[in-house]
């Protein structure tokens, strides 16, 4: 469910959906909203298979050896979601814009999984949120839903074909998935994903950009891996963002490549995030932690998968 229905807005210049975010944001901001409704008293289930309690593993997804500590997955259900939403709304009003890319600080709402499963209503969330930057993120969610509604093959075909020739490299793909590329910010993110089914937005961009723009592996491979592991994994936002990063989607600068080192220095200046997920780099000082290849080899940590100057 979205705030504004996917087919509700049409660009004035023609076309069945918005291809660029900024004009969509303008139209979306002006669009009317339906009323927030109370939850129904009862939801009738269709007949068929008996409903039981699913068996849920409490174990992290990946190798516990590499996880920083046994991780408590967020509690499911509407009550937990509403508690999280209330706490978040109280708190995010302050500094979401400054804090959302603070990798060590973990200062985003973490409402993604609840939005995915319909435990909170994005419409209600928007109606209560006072932080403009946060509301803008909710608009990104709607944006990708309207793109996907118009282009349902978003998880298979290039939205804007660019004729890129991707590399088949099983070893590189395995290293990326396991967090063993030798590039600390990429590895920390990928191990974070394995351990907790989550990763901050900034690290999703860095790890995705690394795979498609530096290792030249097909975006479908990376997006499929994210889709398998993300607690908030949904087709529209996952594949929409992957195609944005790969330059085949809605980015107006399709050749953009993120430098993992520059990004890491900027958003994890003390190397706290990286060290949290890469225990083998625990003793490396902040100055060197994002570029360990510049000093003596670190025992138990691989050299970088692709050359770094």
Ligand X SMILES: Cc1cc2nc3c(=O)[nH]c(=O)nc-3n(C[C@H](O)[C@H](O)[C@H](O)COP(=O)(O)OP(=O)(O)OC[C@H]3O[C@@H](n4cnc5c(N)ncnc54)[C@H](O)[C@@H]3O)c2cc1C
Instruction: Out of 74, 112, 179, 184, point to the residue binding ligand X (CB under 6 A).
Output: 112
**What's CA 298's distance to the chain center, in Å?**
29
Q: Give yes or no for a contact between 1 and 116, defined as CB atoms under 8 angstroms apart.
A: no
Q: Kindly state whether residue 208 participates in binding ligand X, applying the rule CB under 6 A.
A: yes
Q: What is the distance between the alpha carbons of residues 3 and 87, in angstroms, rounded to a whole number? A: 21
* Contact pattern for ligand X over residues 224 through 243, marking x by CB under 6 A: --x---x-xxx--xx--xx-
Residue 115 marked ligand-binding: no
* Of the candidate residues 76, 110, 151, 224, the single one contacting ligand X (CB under 6 A): 110
Q: How many residues bind ligand X (CB under 6 A)?
A: 27
Q: What are phi and psi of 196, to 5 degrees?
A: -125, -5
C-beta neighbour count of 38 within 10 angstroms: 5
Nearest approach in angstroms of CB 289 to ligand X is: 23
Return d(Cα 281, Cα 197) in angstroms, integer.
22
CA 297 to chain centre: 31
Site string for ligand X, 245-284 (x = CB under 6 A): x---------------------------------------
Q: Looking at beta carbons only, is 4 or 111 nearer to ligand X?
A: 111
Q: How many CB atoms lie within 10 A of CB 118?
A: 11
Distances (CA, A) of 306 to 38, 106, 145: 53, 29, 35
* 60 vs 238 by CB, closer to ligand X: 238
**Is 144 in contact with 241 (CB distance < 8 Å)?**
yes
CA-to-CA distance for 185 and 192, rounded, in angstroms? 10
CB closer to ligand X out of 146 and 238: 238
164-203: contacts with ligand X (CB under 6 A): 200-201
Q: Shortest Cβ distance from residue 239 to ligand X (Å)?
A: 8
Residues that bind ligand X (CB under 6 A): 100, 108-112, 115, 137-138, 140-141, 144, 200-201, 204-205, 208, 226, 230, 232-234, 237-238, 241-242, 245
């Amino acid at each position: 469910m979205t705030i504004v229905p996917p087919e509700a807005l049409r660009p004035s210049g023609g076309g069945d959906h918005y291809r660029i975010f900024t004009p969509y944001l303008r139209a979306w901001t002006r669009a009317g909203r339906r009323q927030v409704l109370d939850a129904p008293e009862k939801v009738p289930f269709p007949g068929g298979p008996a409903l039981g309690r699913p068996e849920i593993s409490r174990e992290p997804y990946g190798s516990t050896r590499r996880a920083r500590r046994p991780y408590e997955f967020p509690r499911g259900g509407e009550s937990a979601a509403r508690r999280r939403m209330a706490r978040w709304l109280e708190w995010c009003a302050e500094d979401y814009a400054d804090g959302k890319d603070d990798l060590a600080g973990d200062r985003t709402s973490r409402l993604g999984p609840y939005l995915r499963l319909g435990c909170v209503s994005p419409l209600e969330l928007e109606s209560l949120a006072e932080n403009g930057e946060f509301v803008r993120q909710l608009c990104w969610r709607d944006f990708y839903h309207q793109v996907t509604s118009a282009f349902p093959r978003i998880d298979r075909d290039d939205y804007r074909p660019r004729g890129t020739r991707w590399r088949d490299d099983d070893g590189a793909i395995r290293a990326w998935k396991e967090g063993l590329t030798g590039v600390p910010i990429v590895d920390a993110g990928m191990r974070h994903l394995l351990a907790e089914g989550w990763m901050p937005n900034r690290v999703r961009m860095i790890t995705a950009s690394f795979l498609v723009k530096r290792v030249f592996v097909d975006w479908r491979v990376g997006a499929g891996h994210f889709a398998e592991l993300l607690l908030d994994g949904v087709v529209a936002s996952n594949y929409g963002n992957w195609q944005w990063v790969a330059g085949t989607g809605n980015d107006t600068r399709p050749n953009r490549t993120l430098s993992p080192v520059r990004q890491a220095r900027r958003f994890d200046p003390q190397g706290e995030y990286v060290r949290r997920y890469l225990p083998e780099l625990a003793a490396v000082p902040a100055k060197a932690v994002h570029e360990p290849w510049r000093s003596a080899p670190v025992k138990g940590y691989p050299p970088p998968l692709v050359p770094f100057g």
